[in-house]
Chain A
Amino acid sequence: MPRLGMVIDLKRCIGCNACVLACKQENGTPPGIHFARVITREVGTYPQSKRTFLPVLCNHCDDAPCVKACPTGASYTRPDGIVLVDNDLCIGCRACAVACPYMNRHYVAPGLLQAGYDGKPLSPYEALKYLDFQEGTTSKCTLCAHRIDRGLEPACVVTCPTDARIFGDLEDQNSRPRKLIEERKGWTLLPESNTKPSVYYLDA
């Protein structure tokens, strides 16, 4: 079985947030919701201090706590490993958001879709994109399943100016992400959570 995932090369990443905005425009997420984020930190003290950048998104875990926590079966894992939410089954209990140790579940609060950005009437673009969201349900990164199903890579991968995001089948021994994980000892976030993420990182 394939297991679709991604490697994020922190050496290449410059924390530019292109992935954040590519995700925003591809998915049309309402205000305040970002499926892709970049966490910036400062480490050390002057003059040995440095800034670091960590892009995050849903890890599409192999052992996804959000799926296990979902009482209705709305959260599910596709055969290719992508974790999705069926909005029609979601009751908005947010057990998934509590269960996700990575804070990658986003609740679409009632009223959120009534106006667009800045509280203005929906733009034609928002009217188009908001069809994908339902108030009172939980939304999340789909790994751009709609693109993958049409032979395209996720929006965050396509746009990444430094080619820091490498998408592919982690089960395929010859895939680029798989090889990079092996060559550069890829690691995952919060391994103690035993979630088996499909998003790996390479050292900066």
Chain B
Amino acid sequence: MTATNSGSKALDRGRWITSTCGMCLHGCGIRVLVVDGVASTIEGDPTNPDNLGKLCPKGNSGIARLYDSSRVLRPLKRTNPNKGPGEDPKWVEIGWDEAYEIVTRELGKIHMTDPRKLLCAFGDFQRIVLWGWPAAFGSPNFFTSLGNYCGGSYHPVNGSVDGSFASINDYKYCNYWIQIGSGDGFSSHLHLSGSAKRMADARMRGMKLVSIDPRCSVAGAKADEWIPIVPGTDRAFVLGMAHVLVHELGIYDREFLRDRTNAPYLVGPDGLFYRDDDGRAQVWDLQAKAPRPWNEVPAENVALEGAFPVNGWSVSTGFQVWKDLLADHTPERMSEVTTVPAATIRRIAQEFVEAAKIGSSIEIEGQTYPFRPAALNYYRGSQSHANGLFDNMTYKLFNMLVGNIDVPGGHLGVPLDHRGFFISPGEDGMLKPEPHQLHPPPPFKYPPDSTHLMEFFPIGFDAGQLNTETILEPERFGLNYRPEALLMYHSNPVWNLPETDKVEKILRQMKFIVAIDIQHTESTRWADVFLPARTYLESTLLNCLEAPVVTGHSMRQPVVNPIGDTKDAYEILTDLAEHLGFLEVWNSVLNLVCGFTAKPQYLLDAAKHYSVEEFWDCYARSVYGEERNLTWFKEHGHAVRYRNAQETYQPYGKLRMPFYFEFVKRTGAELRRKLAAANVTNWPFDNYQPLPFWKPSPVIEDGKRGYDFYAITYKESLHTFADTVVLSWLTEVSEKDPVHQGILINGATARNLGIATGDRIRLTSPAGSIEGAAVCVESIHPQVLAVGNATSREFVSNPRVQMKGSPFNRLLTGSLQYSDGATGGLESTARVRVTKVRAGGTENQSVSRSEAPNRS
């Protein structure tokens, strides 16, 4: 025989089926070679412009997920009433009828009495349209992080600036890219495979890349320059650069700020816009030397800067207010905060503003746009902090200084889905801010209904970490009921929420827990019933989520017969709605979420139980018309196409974006009034500010309590943060890479502490402690210890996978104090003490793999 039999056989006899990847949330296009009913190979779908036939290592491991021997293949019932991390649930297999009967009986009691008593943890982003199930049940509660680590402050600010959900720099035209706390184009975030290709192409054409990161991430490794920084101080670095532009160089895009933002609007001493009797925001008319309505002064006469006397007050333009705030944010002062040399802050600022080519323009698809080929891209690490609102505002404002928002070469909004940017006119010629995109803004209510206090976050994200504080101290926030049950759907709150001990304490209070998932996790171990869902290679949906340069849905379809006795998650949730007697409400929620209400011909009949295919067929037709029904998608695989220039660049036309976030200040004041009326006075209103500045976070302050070091997490391409760790295909590779072998610590720091690679060390934060093997590396800031995405799980269903036992989230504090009071974003960095538990390595042990052949 030769070594190519099975591959030849598969290629000769197999059939390629087009589908959508499900190994992370984004959903690249794939095609699967199936031979005799067996999935043989998965490739990127070469016809899909999103990922251009490419796949990341996770996407290349989908077959391991499908045939994973530790999958749950039949409904399970717990027989051990004792619950806890060390308890074997003693599962027994049961039929679907019995499983549904138990769940219906237990949840039915709550549904009939007080449905708020059900906690829900939903985590399947590709089925985001199903996230309305808790609302249909009658529960407002999301008992999970729900992406808050990444997006808590990020999404609200993107939505407020230009109606986008995420953002990215322009791969095609950017010439100077500052990457700050993000894996875009290298290891994580938006559609990795296609983004990696676009980033590589940009670097090859000469784009300069500067990476700011406490750890030399992959971006840092490939950057022209890696600048290490203290975690949580990225904003200070950028504020220092803003100081250089505004106060030292005096170079910024005055026209953009004056004409495309509210920067020239006059701000009164109360911090609100100075308005005339008709409520119109005013600008200073340089010719008339008087305030005039914003839309009645020719652009060239509008003052961008300055303070002016009006009715005995001094009013300043919004730009001037920030300029004044920046006056003491000198590179020297910001250097003390960040440890980045002042000269570096100055140099990068200068290089950036020069590369931005302020004043230049470019013609694309017959239209002339401003051309600003320099942009700062940021994500998780640089803004998931207790002052995350300020972080995000700072990065947007810094980009605005060179006028690069949504123009070629610059910093571009990425829409949530096929609907594109959320654009509608707001006040004073502005875009209407859209801080909430996943659901309508929750109205204020006291006492609150939700355990994560959504009613108190008018511009915030769903702050899952607040569940623990609210549920364990309900009287503090006026919660007037006690949750009794938990439904988890592909979500792992025990692992993904901070302060694991508190989460487990809550789980002990639950009278009933049901899990819908494909495998066991830290959380499903607590369940009473496990309802097994199908993997992405056995199920059906249409997906379109956070794609940087494309739009349109790709279809996921079963490529093999389902293994075991499992069901599509849509079916499970719809079955439960029917059994619990709220199918009509469920269908009406789907009508709303899917946009069918706006197209009445597609409205679901309230009383009908739609099959998964009927449902997605209706969805397909509602978006694309009768021609492109589900049968069309099965044949063609996807309707993905590049977004054109009109959809990408300034799709909102002349509507202005906020430079001065007046609505944030107003919203805070309004919330203060409402909470005061309810006698709640201890709420953190501090971050409802119209402009960002430097102030230390609680984490920085923890340093004064003897927590000398910082602990951070990071993500590299082999794993998501969660469920790929179960797959031996991926872990046998990640286990060989030093960055996945333990807790990273700077070599010099380790020597000072008497720690060598392989030693067991303990990190202790104010919230808790974790242990792991020390891995001494050079490419990390001396004050930082880092825990990777392959080492943070405590329990996975595959016994072969050696858990490193470094569950990072135990170090985080999930309280309001460590959250952004305005957005609900949580603090994802911890201050820690480091101690050596026991020796395990040798002082000079190299972390590089020794089998590397040398070049010569």
Chain A residues proximal to chain B, CB less than 8 Å: 11-12, 14-18, 20-22, 24-28, 31-32, 34, 39-42, 44-47, 49-54, 56, 84-88, 101-103, 116-121, 123-129, 131-134, 139-140, 142, 144-147, 149-150, 152, 155, 158-164, 187, 189-192, 201
| Cβ 8 A contact of A118, one of B70, B187, B200, B718 | B70
B200 touches A46 (CB 8 A): no
Which partner residue on chain B sits nearest A101 by CB separation?
B853
Task: Provide the residues of chain A in CB contact with B43, threshold 8 Å.
Answer: 22, 155, 158-159
Q: Return B49 CB to nearest CB of chain A, in Å.
A: 14
B73 at the interface (CB under 8 A from A): no
Task: Provide the residues of chain B in CB contact with A162, threshold 8 Å.
Answer: 196-197, 199-200
Task: Provide the residues of chain A in CB contact with B216, threshold 8 Å.
Answer: 49-51
Q: Return A31 CB to nearest CB of chain B, in Å.
A: 7
A34 touches B780 (CB 8 A): no
How far, in whole Å, are A196 and B851 apart by their CA atoms in the complex?
Answer: 20
Of the A-B pairs whose beta carbons lie under 8 Å apart in the complex, a sample of 22, sorted by A's number, is A12-B204, A16-B186, A17-B57, A21-B733, A27-B7, A40-B737, A40-B738, A40-B848, A45-B778, A49-B779, A50-B216, A50-B221, A50-B226, A52-B221, A120-B69, A124-B38, A125-B39, A125-B67, A131-B5, A161-B56, A161-B194, A161-B197
B3 touches A161 (CB 8 A): no
Q: Return A66 CB to nearest CB of chain B, in Å.
A: 14
Q: Return B586 CB to nearest CB of chain A, in Å.
A: 36
How far, in whole Å, are A46 and B784 apart by their CA atoms in the complex?
Answer: 13
Which partner residue on chain B sits nearest A115 by CB separation?
B69
* Binary flags per residue of B714-738, CB closer than 8 Å to A gives 1, else 0: 0001100000000011101100011
A51 touches B3 (CB 8 A): no
A31 touches B732 (CB 8 A): yes
Task: Provide the residues of chain A in CB contact with B192, threshold 8 Å.
Answer: 16, 161
B55 touches A18 (CB 8 A): yes
Q: A17-B718, A21-B730, A46-B782 are in contact. List 19 more A-B contacts (CB 8 A).
A: A22-B60, A26-B7, A42-B778, A50-B779, A86-B2, A117-B800, A128-B6, A132-B4, A145-B3, A146-B8, A158-B53, A159-B44, A159-B55, A161-B55, A161-B56, A161-B197, A163-B201, A190-B853, A201-B855
A126 touches B67 (CB 8 A): yes
| Cβ 8 A contact of B197, one of A25, A84, A142, A163 | A163
B704 at the interface (CB under 8 A from A): no
* Binary flags per residue of B169-206, CB closer than 8 Å to A gives 1, else 0: 00000000000000000110000111011011101100
**If A87-B2, A146-B11, A155-B41 touch, does A18 touch B57 (CB 8 Å cutoff)?**
yes
A14 touches B218 (CB 8 A): yes
| Cβ 8 A contact of A189, one of B37, B55, B855 | B855
Among A14, A140, A201, which residue has the most Cβ atoms of chain B within 10 A? A14
A14 touches B196 (CB 8 A): yes
**If A15-B218, A21-B729, A117-B728 touch, does A132 touch B61 (CB 8 Å cutoff)?**
no
Chain B residues proximal to chain A, CB less than 8 Å: 1-12, 35-44, 51, 53-61, 63-64, 66-67, 69-70, 186-187, 192-194, 196-197, 199-201, 203-204, 216, 218, 220-222, 226, 228, 717-718, 728-730, 732-733, 737-739, 746-748, 777-780, 782, 798-800, 847-849, 851-856
Task: Provide the residues of chain A in CB contact with B11, threshold 8 Å.
Answer: 146-147, 150, 152
How far, in whole Å, are A201 and B779 apart by their CA atoms in the complex?
Answer: 25
Q: Return B40 CB to nearest CB of chain A, in Å.
A: 6
| Cβ 8 A contact of A41, one of B35, B201, B730, B849 | B849
**If A21-B730, A146-B11, A159-B54 touch, does A139 touch B64 (CB 8 Å cutoff)?**
no
**If A101-B853, A103-B853 touch, does A85 touch B56 (CB 8 Å cutoff)?**
no
How far, in whole Å, are A133 and B55 apart by their CA atoms in the complex?
Answer: 26
A46 touches B747 (CB 8 A): yes
Pairs of residues from A and B, 4 with the lowest C-beta to C-beta distance, nearest first: A146-B4, A49-B778, A21-B60, A123-B67
Task: Provide the residues of chain A in CB contact with B41, threshold 8 Å.
Answer: 25-26, 155
Q: Return B522 CB to nearest CB of chain A, in Å.
A: 19
Task: Provide the residues of chain A in CB contact with B51, threshold 8 Å.
Answer: 161
Q: Return B779 CB to nearest CB of chain A, in Å.
A: 4
Which partner residue on chain A sits nearest B852 by CB separation?
A39
How far, in whole Å, are A128 and B199 apart by their CA atoms in the complex?
Answer: 37
Task: Provide the residues of chain B in CB contact with A131, threshold 8 Å.
Answer: 5-6
Task: Provide the residues of chain B in CB contact with A152, threshold 8 Å.
Answer: 11
Task: Provide the residues of chain B in CB contact with A158, threshold 8 Å.
Answer: 43-44, 53-54
| Cβ 8 A contact of A46, one of B5, B59, B780 | B780
Q: Return A202 CB to nearest CB of chain B, in Å.
A: 11
**If A49-B779, A118-B798, A139-B3 touch, does A18 touch B39 (CB 8 Å cutoff)?**
no
How far, in whole Å, are A18 and B51 apart by their CA atoms in the complex?
Answer: 13
| Cβ 8 A contact of A87, one of B3, B7, B855 | B3
Which partner residue on chain B sits nearest A190 by CB separation?
B853
How far, in whole Å, are A191 and B59 apart by their CA atoms in the complex?
Answer: 35
Q: Return B716 CB to nearest CB of chain A, in Å.
A: 8
Task: Provide the residues of chain A in CB contact with B849, threshold 8 Å.
Answer: 39-41
**If A17-B718, A123-B67 touch, does A44 touch B778 (CB 8 Å cutoff)?**
yes
A191 touches B226 (CB 8 A): no
Task: Provide the residues of chain A in CB contact with B729, threshold 8 Å.
Answer: 21, 24-25, 117
How far, in whole Å, are A201 and B67 apart by their CA atoms in the complex?
Answer: 36
Q: Return B850 CB to nearest CB of chain A, in Å.
A: 10
| Cβ 8 A contact of A128, one of B38, B194, B226, B799 | B38
Which partner residue on chain B sits nearest A26 by CB separation?
B41
A118 touches B853 (CB 8 A): no
Which partner residue on chain A sits nearest B339 by CB separation?
A47
How far, in whole Å, are A40 and B734 apart by their CA atoms in the complex?
Answer: 11
Task: Provide the residues of chain A in CB contact with B42, threshold 8 Å.
Answer: 25
B779 touches A132 (CB 8 A): no
B855 touches A187 (CB 8 A): yes
Q: Return B149 CB to nearest CB of chain A, in Å.
A: 22
B746 touches A147 (CB 8 A): no
B218 touches A84 (CB 8 A): no
Task: Provide the residues of chain A in CB contact with B200, threshold 8 Å.
Answer: 12, 14, 161-164
How far, in whole Å, are A131 and B854 apart by their CA atoms in the complex?
Answer: 35
Among B7, B748, B777, B798, which residue has the most Cβ atoms of chain A within 10 A? B7
Task: Provide the residues of chain A in CB contact with B59, threshold 8 Å.
Answer: 18
Task: Provide the residues of chain A in CB contact with B228, threshold 8 Å.
Answer: 46-47
Task: Provide the residues of chain A in CB contact with B56, threshold 8 Å.
Answer: 16, 18, 161
Q: Return B244 CB to nearest CB of chain A, in Å.
A: 21
B221 touches A51 (CB 8 A): yes
Q: Return A88 CB to nearest CB of chain B, in Å.
A: 6
Task: Provide the residues of chain A in CB contact with B197, threshold 8 Å.
Answer: 161-163
A128 touches B1 (CB 8 A): no
Task: Provide the residues of chain B in CB contact with A12, threshold 8 Å.
Answer: 200, 203-204
How far, in whole Å, are A131 and B553 apart by their CA atoms in the complex?
Answer: 38
**If A17-B733, A20-B733 touch, does A145 touch B4 (CB 8 Å cutoff)?**
yes
How far, in whole Å, are A12 and B611 apart by their CA atoms in the complex?
Answer: 45
| Cβ 8 A contact of B717, one of A16, A127, A133, A160 | A16
A161 touches B856 (CB 8 A): no
Which partner residue on chain B sits nearest A15 by CB separation?
B218
Which partner residue on chain B sits nearest A142 by CB separation?
B3
| Cβ 8 A contact of B10, one of A20, A120, A128 | A128
Which partner residue on chain B sits nearest A126 by CB separation?
B67
A190 touches B196 (CB 8 A): no
Q: Return A152 CB to nearest CB of chain B, in Å.
A: 7
How far, in whole Å, are A22 and B226 apart by their CA atoms in the complex?
Answer: 30
B203 touches A11 (CB 8 A): yes
How far, in whole Å, are A44 and B717 apart by their CA atoms in the complex?
Answer: 23
How far, in whole Å, are A9 and B67 apart by their CA atoms in the complex?
Answer: 34
Q: Return A125 CB to nearest CB of chain B, in Å.
A: 5
Which partner residue on chain A sits nearest B849 by CB separation?
A39
Task: Provide the residues of chain A in CB contact with B36, threshold 8 Å.
Answer: 128
Task: Provide the residues of chain A in CB contact with B58, threshold 8 Å.
Answer: 21
**If A25-B63, A150-B11 touch, does A161 touch B728 (CB 8 Å cutoff)?**
no
Task: Provide the residues of chain A in CB contact with B67, threshold 8 Å.
Answer: 123-126
Q: Return B58 CB to nearest CB of chain A, in Å.
A: 8
Task: Provide the residues of chain A in CB contact with B855, threshold 8 Å.
Answer: 187, 189-190, 201
Task: Provide the residues of chain A in CB contact with B37, threshold 8 Å.
Answer: 124
